[in-house]
Structure 1
């Protein structure tokens, strides 16, 4: 393993090419996660509810997870063959349509694949070949999945956020991470606690819930990965972008302001901005404030 890392360090072009290809493949897998994980959670909740209420489970359900059943066209049920499932390439070759019935394939599939690949390469350009680079890649992959799941369902599944929280804390066991474990633990607590306080203050003042508990956990993740010092900038960026997006949706799309808007995508977007440009933003602000 060490020799492979040394080879990548000596031949960065191979490192970037592998990051691109690996990112495309992971993006294809994330499409499955985005589509299936919420349904898997719903099935689990229904099963638990029936168990608590002592209801008959009815007919036995077919296995449904990230591996089973095989991907198929939702219109005709055509099983997707391996050469029809190549990231981006298959979409272009099929011209965005099912090979069996001609039904349109959503453009979000290649979008997720390209976005994941671009973020993976961005991490590779920022972090030399190492275990830390792989962990940061896993971080951005998780944010892609959380963003689109939250947009679709307004859920931020614990199955992603909690492992990501622990992974962030484990990252900083190493002295070379640039952040002490103490700072990471304080960051996780500050991230969760700050939004928890905002949530309950808002509920006391308005009688409404302004965000979900998943947002607390996600903000704790960012505290664990970046430290508590990053949290003010991340929440500021996410709030500004979220407010602008909300206004645009109301003005241009006529969206009812009473309809809740997922906050997770804005938190994820702000965290990615901080990951790649956080230091420059902080330095620019300090230079402006002191000048």
Structure 2
């Protein structure tokens, strides 16, 4: 049994390596795709007479840019990355962490994302051997990792990630993959969204500033769907603790961005992964509740 479980986990880890390589593409390209779409929409709305047609022509004239095309290239020298230079982790090691053409350094984050995805996939399948639930929770982990890094880089939490995560969480509850009732999942989604929505407006009315974005509401709603309404308090507590710790580290290292703003989404995602790995009750025990 343990041997079979270990083999399944190892295979899931290999799958995670390949998925992690694709996640790096998503993290880099999805925000740019969103910005292109917004620019096209703005041009169409703000254009003069005939501006809509011109905007569509301009969009059509642009090179296709999505998660599949164009091929990945070095951002420094535009070298097209060959297939054997794009093997998860191995290519980074064999290339010495440098572009094969211009020798510019390749970010260490690429292999770390691949490794993290592999470990998360292996853990999920190890915990739920022989069950589709392992792959379902692997998808949850991959979505959170992607959302966290996109938000950290750009302060965007894409609807293309948060909304499917919410709906899949509800479907997972219906399928019995999350161990919570459908009612708890539905009310968890409602409570997750409305709680942060309320905090957002309370903060805005009292300070005149926006403390978080709407993507945070949707991500927290997704957590309610996956873990149930009972898990929301421990998750937001853990997110706050992670946020304070990271914020202090950045402050003392002068790493805060202009205005001292740090997106909340990565900390929410970190808390969601913590809840997945250890359970929401473990979070409450950790903080002494």
Which digits, 9 at most, give the CA deviation of each residue in 1:188-217, with x for residues without a partner? 000000000000001111111100000000
Asked if 1:227 corresponds to 2:220, the answer is no
Structure 2 distance, partners of 1:253, 1:243, is 15
Structure 2 distance, partners of 1:195, 1:208, is 15
Q: TM-score, normalised by structure 2?
A: 0.92
Question: Pairwise mapping of residues 90-239 of structure 1 onto structure 2 (< 5 A)?
Answer: 90-175=91-176, 177-239=178-240
Q: 1:176 to 1:220 in 2, by over 3 A?
A: closer
Give the drift of 1:139: 0.3
**Structure 1: any 5+ residue segments left out of the alignment?**
1-7
Give the drift of 1:249: 1.6
Equivalent residue number for residue 254 of structure 2: 253
Give the drift of 1:232: 0.2
C-alpha contact (below 8 Å) 2:8/2:126 kept by paired residues: no
Give the drift of 1:9: 8.8
Equivalent residue number for residue 23 of structure 1: 16
Structure 2 distance, partners of 1:17, 1:147, is 25
Give the drift of 1:265: 0.8
Asked if 1:40 corresponds to 2:41, the answer is no
Q: Secondary structure at the match of 1:258?
A: helix
Give the drift of 1:284: 3.9
C-alpha contact (below 8 Å) 2:136/2:177 kept by paired residues: no
Equivalent residue number for residue 264 of structure 1: 265
**Structure 2: any 5+ residue segments left out of the alignment?**
none
Q: TM-score, normalised by structure 1?
A: 0.91
- Shifted more, 225-234 versus 252-261: the winner is 252-261
Give the drift of 1:10: 7.6
CA RMSD of aligned residues (A): 2.0
Give the drift of 1:27: 0.4
Give the drift of 1:283: 7.8
C-alpha contact (below 8 Å) 1:120/1:137 kept by paired residues: yes
Equivalent residue number for residue 11 of structure 1: 4
Structure 2 distance, partners of 1:208, 1:159, is 26
Number of residue equivalences: 281
Structure 2 distance, partners of 1:268, 1:282, is 14
Question: Pairwise mapping of residues 35-114 of structure 1 onto structure 2 (< 5 A)?
Answer: 35-54=28-47, 55=51, 56-57=54-55, 59=58, 60-114=61-115
Structure 1 distance, partners of 2:242, 2:179, is 28
